Amino acid sequence: MTRFRHDLILRMIKLLDAVLVTIPFAMCWYLYYAKRVASPYYANGDYLVVALFFVLFIIFGRVYDAFLMSMQRISEIIYEQFLAAAVSDFIMYVVIWLLSKHLPNILPGVAALVGQVIMASIWAYNAHHAYFKTFPPQATAVIYDTRRGMERLIGKYGLDAKYKVVSTAMAGECIENLSMLDGINTVFLSGIHSHDRNIILKYCVENNITVFVVPRIGDTIMSGAHHMHMFHLPMLRVGRYNPQPEYLLVKRLLDIVISAIALVILSPIFLVTAIAIKATDHGPVFYKQIRLTKDGKEFGILKFRSMRVDAEKDGVARLSSGENDDRITPVGKIIRACRVDELPQLINILKGDLSIVGPRPERPEIAAQYCEEMPEFSLRLQAKAGLTGYAQVYGKYNTTPYDKLTMDLMYIAHPSIVEDFKIMFATVKILFMPESTEGVSEGQTTAMSGENS
């Protein structure tokens, strides 16, 4: 099957999903809300409202990766479809509220959401099974240098049904005999130096082989290069993080507006949490800790205290070892699981210490430890730290510091308000997903100090 036909079939299947999920909303609109808006809509107006939901669901479906039937487990697809539908329904509820000029009954909308989850579940189950019946596993090769174990990660994440690893080799072996890639559909390049990687990349592109590259720090920095012409030559201009003033202004305005609104809406949660912490051990409600932000500037980050008062009585900074850390209080376990302990950082955002989206603010002592092994770690400090960020959303608890650094630099390389919104909405997804507490697998490790960027 040609790649064009493969992509066309996938697009049609995803389009069918959007249509199926839109049906419950359309029924809800036509049978209830359309008759109760201030100026009833007819014909084209009704179509426009339904079309708006359809477009919103596709947008948020992409944000939450809800259409990746071949890359996710069925349960993950259903969860992501639920999030996409729920956010779209909420926006449409606000639209209907504005059209009605009074707060509309939410129950028909809830009923529509239930119907959407049912439709999404039916689609996810059938699309997932149909995909693997229609498309056989792709013959896959893993080429590595400093990072090994990619083939084990493929199996661990359930992707061996899509990528059948038939060959693994060191980069040097592959370069000496590039014909070993003949008949291969997909190649994973893991931790390979740029010279060797480029030779393999050119061969794969020439022979229509799909390539997945685990990037290095240098690759990530180069990805943000500005394309230009100089001396009648193509040129890439690379420099320190320096976004447009308009971007920084809009970003700061969004930080102020969103954090202020969130503080008002979440004030009852603040009150309940404060009472619970105080009642448990009579200690302070908040915990202030020195963190680093743009250009290494220090500030005091605010969090709800989730550990014992004497958690660091020896003065040594330590990362939490996870949910089994015996320093965490009973209330602390609950507020950490719900991410409520992070909410006071909204005050830091309002003050300007933090942004909503940016690299995670690290403690100076721990940052110094990372910099000893990985000097590039300081590159994260080009941008203001954030409450959430690319690495927090797409990484996991056991993602290595090197890989989290790469994710942060990917964000820094492409400053965009659209990307900030995508990360904000994607943060909702991880709020209800427990962080992995597994040890770092061999496939996830990397030589942090010896790896040339």
For residues 281 and 348, what is the distance between their CA atoms, to the nearest angstrom?
Answer: 26
For residues 229 and 233, what is the distance between their CA atoms, to the nearest angstrom?
Answer: 5
**Cβ atoms 138, 6 nearer than 8 A:** no
Q: CA nearest 406: which of 423, 422, 386, 391?
A: 391
For residues 239 and 236, what is the distance between their CA atoms, to the nearest angstrom?
Answer: 10
Residue with tokens 């720090």: 217
DSSP characters for 100-119?
HTS---SHHHHHHHHHHHHH
| pLDDT tens digit at each of 453 positions of the chain | 566 777 787 888 899 999 999 999 999 998 888 887 766 556 677 888 899 999 999 999 998 888 888 888 888 899 999 999 999 999 999 988 888 878 888 999 999 999 999 999 999 999 888 888 888 888 999 988 877 778 888 877 778 888 888 888 898 889 988 988 988 989 999 888 888 889 999 999 998 888 998 888 888 888 878 887 888 778 878 888 888 889 999 999 999 999 999 999 999 998 998 888 888 877 888 888 899 999 889 999 998 888 776 656 555 555 554 555 667 788 778 878 778 888 899 999 999 999 999 998 988 888 888 888 888 888 888 889 999 888 888 877 667 888 888 888 888 888 889 889 989 888 888 776 655 433 333 333 333 333 444
Q: What is the CA radius of gyration of the chain?
A: 25
Written as one letter, the residue type at 263 is: L
For residues 42 and 308, what is the distance between their CA atoms, to the nearest angstrom?
Answer: 62
For residues 381 and 297, what is the distance between their CA atoms, to the nearest angstrom?
Answer: 9
Q: What is the pLDDT of residue 289?
A: 87
Secondary structure class of 326 (helix, strand, coil):
coil
Q: How many residues appear in the chain?
A: 453
Q: CA nearest 411: which of 434, 427, 388?
A: 388
pTM of the model: 0.74
Q: What is the pLDDT of residue 433?
A: 64
The structure tokens listed for 147 are 């990072």
Under DSSP, the state recorded for 328 is: B
For residues 453 and 449, what is the distance between their CA atoms, to the nearest angstrom?
Answer: 10
For residues 32 and 38, what is the distance between their CA atoms, to the nearest angstrom?
Answer: 13
- Cα dihedral 416→419→420→423 (10° resolution): -160
The answer for residues whose C-beta is within 8 angstroms of residue 77's C-beta and 6 or more apart is 66, 68, 69, 120, 124, 128
Q: What is the pLDDT of residue 160?
A: 80
The 8 Å CB, 24+ separation contacts for 177-182 are: 178/203, 180/141, 181/141, 181/207, 181/209, 182/207
The structure tokens listed for 260 are 């202020």
Secondary structure class of 339 (helix, strand, coil):
coil
Give CA separation, 452 vs 87, 194, 241, 268, in Å.
43, 10, 21, 50
SS3 content of the chain, % helix, strand, coil (to 5): 55, 15, 30
Q: What is the pLDDT of residue 46?
A: 82
Give all domains of the chain, ordered by start, each with its CATH number.
3-134 (no CATH), 138-214 (3.40.50.2300), 245-444 (no CATH)
Residue 73 sits at φ, ψ, to 5 deg, of -75, 155
The structure tokens listed for 107 are 């129950």
**Cβ atoms 259, 401 nearer than 8 A:** no
Q: What is the pLDDT of residue 117?
A: 95
